[in-house]
Amino acid sequence: MAALFAAMATADLIADLVNHGPDGGLLLMTSAGALLAAAGTHLWWTRRSARAAAVAVPEPAADTAQDAEPALWRMRTTVRDTPGSLGAVCTALAGSRVDIVTLQTHPLAEGTVDEFLLRAPAALPAAALVLTVADAGGTDTWLERADAHDLVDTPTRMLTLATRTALDAAELPLALRQLFGRCTIRSTPAPAVGPDAAPEQDALLDTVMRLRDPSGGTITVERDHLPFTPTEFARARALVELDARLGVRMPESRHVVTLPEGNELTVRRAGPEDRAAALAMHERCSPDTLALRYHGPVEDADRYLGHLLSPRFGQSLAVETASGRLVALGHLLWDGEENEVALLVEDGWQRRGIGAVLLRKLVELACEAGRGSVYAVTRATNTGMVATMRELSLPLDYQVEDGTLVITATLPASQPSGASLPWAAEHH
């Protein structure tokens, strides 16, 4: 009311000045001209600023196809659980000409985590994208580049991973890794405790989730860059429960290999049911052969084989003769982010090319799993293993320490058909 009365008093004074002053008409004309000039100056400055902003962020060149292609981004941000919060983020992205390809919501106790797959202009930097979301109310924003594989919607991806897990028990750790992207999967055997001990419970601890392994022990999924949500925890538990209900299983895969002398051997997947045959083969191996394989004396091969033949820790291959006798074993072991390959060939069947065949098959399995490298640990004096690794025709890195040699082979881009491997055209 005070402001209204003050405005009325000011208007009355101006009216008296115009009506009773000697130059009232001139004063009105001068005021109108000043206002029109100010309005014109403001309009000109606004248009000039808009043109300058357009020059500051140029459009991608039309004649450069690579620069003109939009960039795919995976983004996750947290918004308040109130009406319009998500809409504000979507409106801000639209204002930056960013296309929302897919959107998932992860409800939390406080707020909601929204996961986007975005198609953004190539000229829009990542920092500007994050600032756009922050200005719209998004917090704890995480952003990384995506590729064409991320265009598959989440229900389809879950069904695909469930199918792979149903066909092969060894696929569970790989399925979890593909589900969550960059993460570390570790399988820990069950501790030796009494029969009355309570099993460890599933747990979600920020960036770590622990799941009970159906075959015993614990599966730990960890990632440093982003906390897990309850929705992701539920998806992981669903895959583990599916694995538990289906039990131990392996795909029926057999390859016949003909040795130079004419003997035909069968290479197939190996599992826990091959423990007895593997123990018998260990009994036939010399102490030197076992020492090269296990880097020392072997006192309890049964304990080693329980771990090596478990599909939870990797994938194993067996080589058997026409009579069904096991003469060689190969293992591809998941070691967090790393992948170890290991070979054991019975003495009487060494130097016949069996180790090379096994190693190539293991590398093919690693490529199909999307792994970037494999490594072998042996003694520096094991020239046979060095020669076998060199036959892969892949880039190798050698590290020697205290007589132990670690050879790392860098794998080509994942090709399910094996077409990118140097020996793909050969007949195995």
Q: Give pLDDT tens digits for 300-341.
A: 666 778 888 888 788 899 999 989 999 999 999 987 678 899
Q: Give pLDDT tens digits for 37-87.
A: 887 787 766 655 444 433 333 444 444 444 568 899 999 999 998 999 999
Q: Compute the mean pLDDT over every residue in the chain, rounded to the nearest whole number.
A: 82
Greater model confidence, 32 or 390: 390
CATH (residue range 68-149): 3.30.70.260
- Say what the pLDDT of residue 58 is: 42
- Say what the pLDDT of residue 428 is: 40
Greater model confidence, 60 or 210: 210
CATH class assigned to 255-410: alpha beta
Mean pLDDT across 390-412: 90
pLDDT higher than threshold 80 for residue 182 = no
What length is written for the chain? 428
- Say what the pLDDT of residue 5 is: 79
Q: Give pLDDT tens digits for 124-165.
A: 999 999 999 999 999 999 898 888 777 777 788 888 888 888
- Hey, where are the domains in the chain? 68-149, 154-191+200-246, 255-410
Greater model confidence, 403 or 63: 403
